Amino acid sequence: MELVDVLNKQKEFTGEVTDKHKVPAGCYRLSVHIWIINDKGELLLQQRLSTAHKFPNAWSNTGGAVKAGESSIDGAIRELKEELGISVAKEELEFIASYKRPRDYADVWLLNKNIDINDIVMAENEVQAVKWTKKEEFEELLKNNKAVRSSYDYLKLYFDPKY
């Protein structure tokens, strides 16, 4: 059981803690999405397990639930380490956006870093493959329902010079 803090409609902590799958109706938990981009402008994607409950075999960014007592940025750092074996300092992450979904608030973080795929240690219980991909290739994966949209729209807005 993974415990999370319960948030209200204003994204304020209520002081309650619950299982991440049992957040009371009308309340929320905090999640993080981390996009990793190298100097070539490529996105580091990870493929979810074929046995995953949600989005099996789909390509996505790194992310997950923020644990009880943990800050958003600390949750992002932990998720990077747990899922891909990537260690980062707080200063390396850039906050992009926060958005409300039906059951959680999702904070989007950006990591600009060149990472050798061979150095990645995939979490066996979550990730089955990783790859660097161009934005256009990821958009094609989305069109073909082979990727999770997650926070991609916010990342795209962040890099769109029209905004």
Tell me the DSSP string of 81-143.
HHHH-----GGGEEEEEEEE-SSEEEEEEEEE----GGG----TTTEEEEEEE-HHHHHHHHH
| Percent with pLDDT over 70 in the chain | 98
The pLDDT score that the predictor gives to residue 154 is 87
Which structure tokens are listed for 67? 């644990």
Mean pLDDT of 67-80: 98
Pairing of strands 43-48, 59-60: antiparallel
Domain total in the chain: 1
Burial 43-67 (b: 16+ CB within 10 A, else e): bbbbbbbeeeeebeebbbbbbbbbb
Question: Smallest Cα–Cα separation from 108: which of 142, 49, 158, 52?
Answer: 158
Instruction: Report how far residue 61's alpha carbon sits from residue 54's, in angstroms, rounded to the nearest whole number.
Output: 14
Q: With 90 as the cut, is the pLDDT of residue 159 above it?
A: no
Distance of alpha carbon 36 from alpha carbon 104, whole angstroms: 22
| Range(s) of the domain holding residue 18 | 3-159
User: Is pLDDT larger for residue 153 or for residue 106?
Assistant: 106
Residue 157's φ and ψ, nearest 5 degrees, are -60, -40
CATH assignment of the domain containing 67: 3.90.79.10
pLDDT of 76 higher than 80 = yes
Greatest alpha-carbon pair distance for the chain in Å reads: 44
Residue 63 has pLDDT above 90, yes or no: yes
Residue pLDDT, tens place only, 5-59: 999 999 999 999 999 999 999 999 999 999 999 999 999 999 999 999 899 999 9
- pLDDT of 117-137, one tens digit each? 999 999 999 999 999 999 999
Instruction: Tell me the C-alpha distance between 98 and 10, whole Å.
Output: 12
Q: How confident is the model at residue 162 (pLDDT cuts 50, 70, 90)?
A: low
The reported pLDDT for the residue numbered 156 is: 85
pLDDT of 163 higher than 60: no
